Amino acid sequence: MSKDTKPMDCAKSGRFCWNELVTTSVPGAKKFYGGLLGWKTKPFGKGSPGYTLLLNGKDSVGGMMKCPKPGNPAQWIPYVIVEDVDATAKKAGKLGGGVLVPPFEVKGVGRIAVLEDAQEAAFGIIRPEM
């Protein structure tokens, strides 16, 4: 992956690092955000079919994909860097939250999961590949 399309800043743990749009219409979202904010789009790698990077000039500002579960609403999911995705996912449950998407690896990106807090607000966690 080229430097100008790296999907996230590998900042320290506890910081928001990525924004992802899960949408019911990728073409509609491309048109809307392109028209509204001037964002361009670019397919992300060969290992993630259907995933699109959102670009502001040459800077990656987020990504988008079609909702994996029919009937789910479109939503933005912010990602926070953590040291251990599996341990953080377990801890979320102990604190009254939950795991929406269990931890898994994304080649060239890192280990991620999608959680919800005790009020059911969704967010992602990631341990970027180094």
Domain that holds residue 55: 3-128
Q: Residue 122 is part of a domain; what is its CATH number?
A: 3.10.180.10
Higher pLDDT among residues 46 and 8, named by residue: 46
Structure tokens at 115: 């959680």
pTM of the model: 0.84
Higher pLDDT among residues 83 and 6, named by residue: 83
pLDDT per residue as tens digits for the range 17-27: 999 999 999 99
Cβ 104 vs Cβ 112: under 8 Å: yes
Terminal CA-CA length for the chain: 13
pLDDT band of residue 10 (cuts 50, 70, 90) is low
Which residues are CB-contacts of 15 (< 8 A; sequence separation ≥ 6)?
A: 80, 81
